[in-house]
Copies of this chain bind each other. A is one copy, B any other.
Amino acid sequence: MNAKSVMSRSLAGLAIAAALVLMTSQAPAEEGMWTFTNPPSKLLQEKYGFTPTQEWLDHVRLSSIRFNDGGSGSFISPGGLVMTNHHVAVGQLQKVSTSAKDYVADGFFAPTPDKELKSPDLELNVLMAMIDVTSRVTASAKPGLTAEQALKAREAEIAKIEDESLKQTTLRSNVVALYGGAEYWLYRYKVYTDVRLVFAPQRRVAYFGGDWDNFTYPRYDLDVAFFRVYENGRPVKPANYFKWNAKGAGLDELVFVSGHPGSTDRLFTVAELNFERDVHYPVLLKYISGRLAILGTYAAKGQEEQRRALVQMFGLENSRKALTGEYEQGLLNKAMMDRKALEEKEFRDKVEADPARRAEYGEAWPTIAGVVEKEAGLYKTQFYERLSGSRLAELAMTIVLYVAEVPKPDADRLPGYHEAQLPSVRFNLFSPAPVYADLEEAGLAGTLKMSLDELGSDNAFIKLVLGGKSPAEAARELIGGSKLADVAVRRALIDGGVKAVEASKDPLIVLARKLAPRVRETVQWTKDNIDSVLEPAHQKIGRARFAVYGKSLYPDATFTLRLTFGTVAGYPMNGTQAPYETTLYGLFDRSLGFNKSGDWALPDAFWANVGTLDLSTPVNFVSSCDIIGGNSGSPVINKNAEIVGLIFDGNIESLAGRFFFDGEANRAVAVHPAYIIEALRKLYGAAKLADEIEGK
């Protein structure tokens, strides 16, 4: 599965700006997550005789959608219908489910618009404009400033640009650092928040094979969901949407993916890769295993508990499998690490060979190595000195920081609380999504226990949070005594500002107040010691790469819109060849191969209708498009910008793609459009929806 990883290296406010330039001159043609301002037109012309026109690019961009909680999608009908993955939609599905009606397990279909289900807190973005603001941001850090002052100046300028843009256009406005900060771009998004569920299959159909089959292929998943976007109570009529091609793409056909890859670390320096291998991944994998153990114990209590924990568990299992692959196939892969070291040496040799380049860029590598070393010693402590595993605890911290930050001048605020960022913060704060107190308590007790185990009882954070109580006692008091599950209570605190928050006796607010100074301290320490040093070093490497390897590069992924291309093709797999596509025959084969049980069970309707289905209908297929987590739900399109697939995963061989692209075995896994139509018409009685999709 390719949902944007639920875990990110960054703690709240502790982000390490790690975007780096990606491509070397030897890269295979299919490699690359290209921005729409720098599309791979030359490569496409050379290899496939196809050059996308500006009109084509604009149409594709404006038909593409970002799911702001970590996925991609697209408009696919003039009636505002949006397609994404079931596993991107599953969070919303769970939020509209109850113990009495479980749309995750049972699926959902609204035969008429009035039956569509409004999502509690789903925000969709369409990228309307991209403006190069590199010189404005760079110029803001005037010569003579210290590194800390320069960082503050850049951050202030970025906040100002975003705020001006928002006020001017009412569009969501984000400044994005590309090429390690060698470029800054202002991206403006149209925001949709009235998004209603139209169709989702049963999870066992969408996620056939479960965590076992996740990130593998051959695959047989109907990992699709449809939403409809509304504005002012009416379906939007998008000027741009993708037309449907039920035939899909043939073997070796050129295809494109337009979506939002979350992050890649392809040009991390060797020092950073060593940090990932020795510090970051071990800490993260241990934490995820701990979280899964906590949730597993909770879910074992009963069917309703299982339902409540399912989406969190899915996210963590998905992350565990992805990170394990990245760790074992990437960071622990000696051949890869050797190659990375060699590439870095060649790059640095080229920089060192030229006195001007050496003077300008040469110090960047040792600088980064020094920063990484400083970070390594503190990483685990900082990681565990925070509240996690509880949505209410996170909301409490957001409320405490929000009321304190918003009155300040924009330039002085903590990251995440700048003016242009507030609409999304408030949208999340006031989400009516259900909160389950027992799950909250189990989650918080578990993570407090983990923090205690890792930090020891003498640790200041632990003393402050536990105050001598056991993790279970503390969690019971904090969650049991909190009223934050009530949206009105949260709204009253935000509306009441600092005064209301200071007066609150809600135990989670009280705790967040105590912890807030520590959060500010850590953010400041990170700015002074990490970000202010790392950012300029990364910028230097980015510029050095331009100087040495030229401008035909793509930036590391940043959960912004990218275009990637490739061909439909199998690959060498475990001693043989993987097929380029699978069919309904294979779905039934694989279910029978596990006695129709466990993660490979299918709804009875599938077996009952096996005789009426066209079993040769393609189900999933693979292409050499270069994708990663965040691309989930991206449309696969052909040269005519028609939908020929729906990205939902990378194969297991692609997991090391976070660090390098292997064109031989790296494959993007997609749902075939024919399966979607066959299922809607013959298994779900949704012919009208199929007609809308097919434009009939």
Interface residues of A (CB under 8 A from B): 209, 212-216, 218, 251, 321, 325, 570, 573-577, 579-586, 588-590, 592-595, 600, 615-616, 618, 652
Chain B hits for A251, CB < 8 A: 595
Q: Which residues of the partner chain B approach A218 to less than 8 Å between Cβ atoms?
A: 589, 593
Interface centre among A214, A218, A589, A616 (most CB of B within 10 A): A589
Given contacts A573-B574, A574-B652, contact A588 B590 (CB under 8 A): no
- Residues in chain B near residue A570, CB distance under 8 A: 593-594
Bound: A570/B212 CA distance, A = 13
Q: Taking A212-B577, A579-B592 as given, write out 11 further A-B residue pairs in contact, using a Cβ cutoff of 8 Å, ordered by the A residue number.
A: A212-B576, A213-B576, A215-B575, A218-B589, A579-B589, A579-B600, A580-B594, A581-B593, A582-B589, A582-B593, A585-B589
- How many Å from the CB of A299 to the closest CB on chain B? 21
Q: Closest approach, in angstroms, between the C-beta of A650 and any C-beta of chain B?
A: 11
Neighbouring B residues of A580 by C-beta, 8 Å: 593-594
9 CB contacts below 8 A, A to B, read A216-B574, A216-B576, A570-B593, A575-B652, A580-B593, A581-B593, A588-B615, A592-B616, A615-B615
Q: Report the minimal beta-carbon distance from A338 to chain B, rounded to whole angstroms.
A: 15
Tell me how far the C-beta of A576 lies from the nearest C-beta in chain B, rounded to whole angstroms.
4
Q: Residues of B contacting A594 with CB < 8 Å?
A: 570, 577, 579-580
Question: CA separation between A600 and B577, bound complex, in Å?
Answer: 11
A462 to B218 alpha-carbon distance, docked (Å): 52
Q: Count chain B CB atoms within 10 A of each CB in A577, A582, A588, A594 and give the residue with the most.
A: A577
The answer to whether A585 and B592 have CB atoms under 8 Å apart is yes
Q: Binding site of A, secondary structure by majority: helix, strand, loop or mixed? A: mixed
**Looking across the interface, which residue of chain B has its beta carbon closest to that of A578?**
B593
- How far is it, in angstroms, between the C-alpha of A251 and the C-alpha of B594 when the chains are bound? 9
**Whole-angstrom CA separation of A213 from B575 in the bound complex:** 7
Distance from A685 Cβ to chain B, minimum over Cβ atoms (Å): 24
Are A581 and B585 in touch, CB under 8 angstroms? no
Nearest-Cβ distance from residue A688 to partner chain B, whole angstroms: 30
Chain B minimum-CB-distance residue to A616: B592
Q: Which of B586, B592, B595 contacts A590 (CB 8 A)?
A: B586
Find chain B residues with CB under 8 A from A583 CB.
Answer: 588-589, 592-593
Bound-complex Cα distance A232 to B328 (A): 64
Complex Cα gap A581–B543 (Å) = 55
Complexed CA–CA distance, A215 and B616 (Å): 27
Q: Which residues from B are CB-within-8-Å of A574?
A: 216, 573-574, 652
CB closest residue in chain B, given A251: B595
CA distance A251 to B592 in the complex (A): 11
Is B585's CB under 8 angstroms from A209's CB? no
- List 10 tightest A-B contacts by C-beta distance, closest first: A579-B593, A586-B589, A575-B652, A585-B589, A216-B576, A574-B574, A585-B588, A216-B575, A585-B585, A212-B576
Give the docked Cα–Cα distance between A213 and B600 (Å): 24
Q: What B residues does A584 contact at CB under 8 A?
A: 589
A595 cross-chain contacts in B, Cβ below 8 A: 251
A120-B512 Cα distance, complex, nearest whole Å: 88
In the bound complex, CA of A593 to CA of B592 (Å): 19
Q: Which residue of B lies closest to A579 (CB)?
A: B593
Please give, as numbers and ranges, the residues of chain B lying within 8 Å of A215 by CB-CB distance: 575
Q: Which residues of B contact A586 (CB under 8 A)?
A: 585-586, 589-590, 593
> With the chains together, A575 CA to B212 CA distance in Å?
7
| Chain B nearest CB, measured from A477 CB (Å) | 43
The residue in chain B whose Cβ has the minimal distance to the Cβ of A588 is B585
Name A593's closest neighbour in chain B (CB-CB). Answer: B579
**In the complex, what distance in Å separates the CA atom of A507 from the CA atom of B214?**
64
The CA of A275 and the CA of B517, in the complex, are separated in Å by 66
* Alpha-carbon separation in the docked complex, A659 to B593 (Å): 30
Contact pick for A579, options B573, B576, B590, B652, CB 8 Å = B590
Q: Smallest Cβ distance from A664 to chain B, in angstroms? A: 15
Which of A214, A573, A593, A595 has its CB near the most chain B CB atoms (within 10 A)?
Answer: A593
Q: How far is the CA of A136 from the CA of B594 in the complex (A)?
A: 54
Minimal beta-carbon separation of A107 from chain B (angstroms): 23
Q: Which residue of B lies closest to A597 (CB)?
A: B251
Task: Please tell me which one of the listed residues B325, B576, B581, B590 contacts residue A209 in the complex, with CB atoms under 8 A apart.
Answer: B576
Neighbouring B residues of A585 by C-beta, 8 Å:
585-586, 588-589, 592, 615
Point out the residues of chain B lying under 8 angstroms from A579, CB to CB: 589-590, 592-594, 600
How many angstroms between the C-alpha atoms of A92 and B589 in the bound complex? 34
> In the assembled complex, how far is the CB of residue A496 from the closest CB belonging to chain B, in whole angstroms?
51
A581 to chain B: closest residue by CB: B593
Among A251, A581, A590, max chain B CB count under 10 A is at: A590
Question: In the complex, A100 Cα to B396 Cα: how many Å?
Answer: 84
Min CB–CB distance A597 → chain B (angstroms):
9
Which of chain B's residues has its CB closest to A574's CB? B574
Contacts of A209 in B (CB 8 A): 576
A367 to chain B, nearest CB (A): 36
- Residue in B closest to A655 when the chains form the complex, CB atoms: B575
Across-interface contacts of A573 in B (CB, < 8 A): 574
- The CA-CA distance from A584 to B615 in the complex, in Å, is 12
The docked-state distance in angstroms from the alpha carbon of A583 to that of B594 is 11
Smallest beta-carbon distance A297→chain B, Å: 24
Residue of B nearest to A250 (CB): B595
A496 to B589, CA, bound (A): 63
Nearest chain B CB to A320 CB, angstrom units: 12
